[in-house]
Amino acid sequence: MQSALQDYIASDGIALGLDLRTSAKQEFMDTFEDLILRPRSLEYRIQFPGPTGANAVEAAVKQARKVTGRTNIIAFTNAFHGFSLGALALTGNSYHRRASASMLHGVHRAMYDGYLGPSCDTAESLRKPLSDPSGGIDKPAAIILEVVQGEGGINVPTRRWVKNIEQVARQHGAILIVDEIQTGCGRTKPFFAFEAFDIRPDVVLVAKSISGFGLPMSLVLLAPYVDLWRLGEHNGTFRGNNHAFVTATAALREYWCDEHFEHETARKGRIANKILSEFAIDSKLAAQVKAVAYQQKLIVELCGPSDEVIKIMPPLTVSDEELIAGINVLVSTIRTLLFAPNERSVDSQAPAP
């Protein structure tokens, strides 16, 4: 990726192309079509809404309202979709919403899978009032969904629930938007997390990892029947970051030309899961774990409604040695805070590569 970018800059390649066609943009689009969309039988048009995930969210919501003529958007408890006003209205966390609360409108908050415990079907609790003329929920322009919630606490719904939400959207003429900004580009093994749930979203949002190199870039993937933008109706200065297109193309060709990278991600996930599942306990010590781990030169994040969940985000290219070393630090930190010291080493627990 670095070499590709250096070569592009050295050749005087266009840096900022706005909405105009450039060779770097075309090459990325062709590569994305060939390696990601076509093998999955996905027919999406690609929109470049701006540099951030929030730009993608704003564009998708704006398009859904334009297509349907409705204003109401259904978002879920513990959802996170960004900090600009439209995206923030969809976000559930009151800490982030507080400063702009008076300007956050047009959203109905539905309950995510498991929010009321495993015995309550929250998909049905959404379907019922939407089907009732006196249910009190305006017909939605869109339902926006994270198929795995990130900032909300790494919440994984059942396949049945996700399929039911898709059916609710279809039943009531709502655009189904799947936010893959944190889960896309292989973070959950397949390129798109929604692949594991056997659904076909109308709109898919991709950002963060898509450039492969940390350069600002985001995508809105639109089913053709949703792409009703008129010329220049939604534009912006930094939609044409050609440096990001170059590194994104290099990343796709390097890691998504076959199934090896996806299988490796799954294998490393099994290593982490085998070790860390032992320590997945209901604890209020997450902040302390984060602080102590940082002193040991390991950075982890917190998520969940009360920052009670520890989130680890190693690069998907991490080596087994690096992965085990990081997990060792985390486990020893947890043991220091919760358990008796001098217990067995983590290395002996790791499955063979």
Is residue 159 predicted with pLDDT exceeding 50?
Answer: yes
Q: Find how far residue 334's CA is from the centre of its chain.
A: 27
Does pLDDT of 341 surpass 60?
A: no
The amino acid present at 129, given as its one-letter code, is: P
CATH 3.40.50.620 fits 260-349, yes or no: no
* Gap between the Cα atoms of 310 and 324, Å rounded: 17
| Closest of 150, 147, 144 to residue 80, by C-alpha | 150
User: For 58, which DSSP code?
Assistant: H
- Mean pLDDT over 115-129 rounds to 95
Query: What six digits make up the tokens of 61?
Result: 């919501």
Extract the tokens encoding 339.
Answer: 């358990």
Structure tokens given for 76: 């879920």
Residue 42: burial class (beta carbons within 10 Å; 0-12, 13-18, 19+): middle
**What tens digit of pLDDT does each residue of 282-330 get?**
678 899 999 999 999 999 999 999 999 999 999 999 999 999 999 999 9
The pLDDT assigned to 101 comes to: 75
pLDDT band with cut points at 50, 70 and 90 for residue 353: very low
Q: How high is the pLDDT of residue 267?
A: 96
Write down the CATH number for the domain with range 2-255. Answer: 3.40.640.10
* Pairwise CA distance, residues 180 & 194, whole Å: 8
What are the tokens at 136?
A: 């009190």
Q: What's the mean pLDDT in 172-194? A: 97
Which residue spans of the chain are classified as CATH 3.90.1150.10? 260-349
For the cut 80, the answer to whether the pLDDT of residue 211 exceeds it is yes
Q: What is the pTM of this model?
A: 0.92
Confidence of residue 114 (pLDDT cuts 50, 70, 90): very high
Give percent of the chain with pLDDT exceeding 70.
Answer: 95
| Lowest model confidence (mean pLDDT) among 154-158, 200-204, 234-238, 284-288 | 234-238
Mean pLDDT of 144-164: 97
Mind giving me the DSSP string for 272-306? Answer: HHHHHGGG----S-HHHHHHHHHHTT---EEESTT
pLDDT attached to residue 99: 77
CB 180 within 8 A of CB 192: yes
CA–CA dist 81, 92 (Å, integer): 9
Residue 116 and residue 159 in contact, taking contact as beta carbons nearer than 8 Å: no
Q: What is the DSSP string of 218-273?
A: -EEEE-TTT--PPTTSS--GGG-BHHHHHHHHHHHHHHSSSSHHHHHHHHHHHHHH
The per-residue pLDDT for 351 is 47
| 205 pLDDT above the threshold of 50 | yes
CATH 3.40.640.10 in the chain is located at 2-255
Classify 307 in phi/psi space as left (phi over 0), alpha (psi -120 to 50) or beta: left
For the segment 62-75, the average pLDDT, to the nearest whole number, is: 96
| Tens digits of residue pLDDT in 234-254 | 988 888 899 999 999 999 999
Strand duo 301-303 + 309-311: pairing: antiparallel
